[in-house]
Amino acid sequence: MEQPPEILVQLIDGLDRAGRIALGWLVSPAAWSQFALLAVSLLLAVYLTRRVLPVLRRLIDPGEAREGLFAGVRLGLMRFLPLLMPVIAYGLTALGEELTRSLFGSGAVIAFGKRVFLFIAARILVREVLREGFLHLLGRYVLIPVAALYALGILDDITLRLEETVVQLGNIRFSVMALIRGVIAGALLFWLGSWSNRQSADYIKAQPTLRPATRELAVKAAEIGIFGASFLLLMSIMGIDLTAVAVLGGALGVGIGLGLQQIAANFVSGIILLVEGQTTVGDYVELDGGEAGTIVKMTARACVLETFDGKWIVVPNEHFITSRVVNYSDQGSANRYEAVFSVSYDTDINRVPAIIEAAVSALPFILQKPDGPDCELRGFGDSGVDFAVEYWVNGIDDGRHKYGSPVLFAIWNALKAEGIEIPYPHRVVELRQPLAVPA
């Protein structure tokens, strides 16, 4: 006759032991006294919760003040109020366990009840408090099963079995329990790191006294510090010797020396850009390669330029260090532009500067400081007299904000109103021989 599977044998044996324990509790006076203590603890916990909960709600509720650090903390504490009843019941059963062990030398029943209250607290925590997607998922599939195994009193046995089950990959040996612990701790640490990184980034970017470049540098430094600490803590939790990190760092240095020079150069260039602050988010820049746009994002590897037509150009940070960059300064600063035009040789050119300067000054976006419009004679061309008017505007003529077109319209209208001709190219054709006239 074939032997049944080992897991079935263990299950039957466990059920048999549970049945014997339950039967022993039914006939034991000490067990009945512990059941009575459990019932009293539950009723007292419900009574205390009904009396204490309204008081705590009045003390913690921030009222209409829903913004600010302290209001956020108080709102967060209010989410934990549903845990009040099982926590009080857990504390009362803990006191009852100490009492029964001192009187009867046994407290298995009330200890089981205490673990059940802890399981109830875990369920309420997942259902009422951990509403975020990741934490809710982690609580549902990790915390509640662990609490259930602990309540049944078999968590230690399962943990021991998982510790004894060893997986070997080449020269690396680790237990299944270490792997599970590492996966859970890693997911929790890096979620916490992402949350902390978002909070710190929002806080740093909200500081008006810091320059944009300093804010970006502080955000990157906080991000590296948070995730670096999370990685080292995860290595410690998994039992990995941190000297292996030093070996990994040496291998990374060799890799940078052999094939990652550009990545390292861009990373260092990004740090230099952030520290110097000569180029930062919001600047309109033009590079030697022809790339031009507003810097909308600076990362560890590259800067992202947005053109006036909405396209994004990713430019490696190294280009900002090793090539010539024209920076039209921050948004909102004054910039000078010019518009070129010509008039006919028949024109009294002494009248032109005053006419054009008055017409351009009338435009609403033209600045009078640091200097008003200035019309200059540039030269005598093939078809007409060349002029240029220089003007200042508060912004950048980047294609999205088109200042040049209204200025040219104003020049045209002013010249037409004064009867001044704008020439077009003339060509003189000289005939060496007379044309033959047909008879």
Q: Which domain holds residue 137?
A: 6-164
Residues 257 and 291 in one domain: no
User: Do residue 179 and residue 189 come from a single domain?
Assistant: yes
Q: Given 261, 289, 315, which residue is the final one in a domain?
A: 261
- Can you tell me the mean pLDDT for 332-341? 83
Q: Is residue 169 one of the residues assigned to a domain?
A: no
Closest CA to 218 of 202, 204, 197, 203: 204
Averaged pLDDT score across all residues of the chain:
77
For residue 210, being part of any structural domain is answered with yes
- CATH code for position 407: 3.30.70.100
Q: Which residues contact 324 (CB under 8 A, 6 or more apart)?
A: 287, 288
| Residue 362 in this model has a pLDDT that exceeds 50 | yes
181 and 312 in one domain?
A: no
How many domains does the chain divide into?
4
Give the model's pLDDT for residue 1. Answer: 45
Does residue 423 sit within a domain? no
Q: Which residue has the higher pLDDT, 408 or 104?
A: 408
Instruction: Please indicate, yes or no, if residue 424 is contained in any of the structural domains.
Output: no
Confirm if 192 and 170 have CB atoms less than 8 A apart.
no
- 136 shares a domain with 221: no
Q: Which residues contact 321 (CB under 8 A, 6 or more apart)?
A: 269, 272, 273
Tokens of 206: 């909200």
For 175-216, how does the pLDDT look when each residue is reduced to its tens digit (9 = 90+)?
Answer: 777 778 778 877 777 777 777 777 777 777 777 776 666 676
0.75 surpassed by pTM: no
Q: How confident is the model at residue 385 (pLDDT cuts 50, 70, 90)?
A: very high
Inform me whether the pLDDT recorded for 409 exceeds 50. yes
Nearest CA-CA partner of 96 in 81, 82, 83, 114: 114
Q: Do residues 136 and 14 both lie within one domain?
A: yes
In a domain, 432, yes or no: no
- Gap between the Cα atoms of 6 and 27, Å rounded: 32
- In a domain, residue 249? The reply is yes
For 38-68, the pLDDT digits (tens) are 788 888 888 888 888 888 888 877 766 666 6
User: Does the structure show a pLDDT above 70 at 5?
Assistant: no
Beta bridge partners of 343: 385
pLDDT band at 369 (very low <50, low <70, confident <90, very high): confident
- Residue 159 belongs to some domain of the structure: yes
Percent of the chain scoring above 90 in pLDDT: 13
Per the listing, tokens 């399962």 go with: 158
214 and 302 together in one domain: no
Judgement on whether residues 53 and 138 belong to the same structural domain of the protein: yes
With bands split at pLDDT 50, 70 and 90, how would you rate the model's confidence at 330? low
Q: Are residues 65 and 142 in the same domain?
A: yes
Position 350 scores a pLDDT of 93
Provide the pLDDT for residue 359.
93
Residues 375 and 313 in one domain: no
Q: Tell me whether residue 429 is in a domain.
A: no
Mean of pLDDT values over 311-324: 85
pLDDT at 2: 52
Same domain, 53 and 23: yes
Same domain assignment for residues 29 and 157? yes
Lowest mean pLDDT among 88-97, 332-341, 396-405: 396-405
**Which candidate, 43, 143, 148, places its Cα nearest to that of 88?**
43
Q: Give the model's confidence band at 343: pLDDT under 50 very low, under 70 low, under 90 confident, else very high.
A: very high
The model's pLDDT over 117-143, given as tens digits with 9 standing for 90+, comes to 888 888 888 888 887 777 778 888 888
Residue of higher predicted confidence among 174 and 116: 116
Q: Are residues 111 and 64 in the same domain?
A: yes
Three-state SS string over 179-239 comes to HHHHHHHHHHHHHHHHHHHHHHHHHHHCCCCCCHHHHHHHHHHHHHHHHHHHHHHHHHHCC
Specify the pLDDT at position 319.
Answer: 83
The mean pLDDT of 218-227, rounded to a whole number, is 75
